[in-house]
Amino acid sequence: MPNSPPANEPWKLLADMHPIAKVSVGQILGLVEAIDEVGGSADVATISQEVEMDIDRLGPIIDAAELLNFVKVAEGDLTITELSRKVLHANVRERKKIIRDIIDDVPIFKQVMEMAKVAGRPLSREEVLGTIAAQVGTHNADDLFDALVYWGRYTELVHYDSESEQLTILMPSQ
């Protein structure tokens, strides 16, 4: 995988965003399970055959899994981490909490949350897109926004109304 981010700063890749934008939680967890089933470590080709998905489709999922620290990638071999073992055996709600703790630290999320606090009202899609585009350019802004909404909703940090295109940050109810 090109450009692996430094191990303790996975969120740097998030700023570039492409992988996680089109990948769902289910796919990431499915990948982790598939690796677990063959013993916890395998090379990409094997996994690709196991799940009957070609490398093009698998790539973004692997990137996203790596981002969230669920999978370690080294010389074409995928290994699941302690964290992902924990996630595999957690129930649906515990998984959310684990992922929420990771997402919470991502700069983009933090930035949008600041915006919302300062504004004191729901943000419109245009406003958030503008801020995002300033960081990553207009080309990727839409994808990043969708990812923000998706992961934000999943971790219950964000409320988005697609009809009125209003984004609200939910105060974390830990």
Site of interaction with another protein (CB under 8 A): 24-27, 29-31, 33-34, 37-38, 51-53, 57, 61, 91-93, 95-96, 124, 149, 152-156, 158-165
**Choice between 26 and 120, CB closer to another protein:** 26
According to DSSP, the β-strands at 166-169 and 158-161 are antiparallel
Q: How far is the CB of 64 from another protein (least distance, A)?
A: 11
Q: How far is the CB of 33 from another protein (least distance, A)?
A: 6
Alpha-carbon distance 87 to 49, whole Å?
A: 24
**Choice between 16 and 165, CB closer to another protein:** 165
Alpha-carbon distance 79 to 8, whole Å?
A: 17
Q: How far is the CB of 117 from another protein (least distance, A)?
A: 20
Query: How many other C-beta atoms lie within 10 A of the C-beta of residue 91?
Result: 7
**Choice between 49 and 79, CB closer to another protein:** 49
Q: How far is the CB of 129 from another protein (least distance, A)?
A: 12
Alpha-carbon distance 73 to 75, whole Å?
A: 7
- C-beta separation of 103 from 147 below 8 A: no
Which one-letter amino acid corresponds to residue 64? A
**Choice between 38 and 134, CB closer to another protein:** 38
- C-beta separation of 109 from 170 below 8 A: no
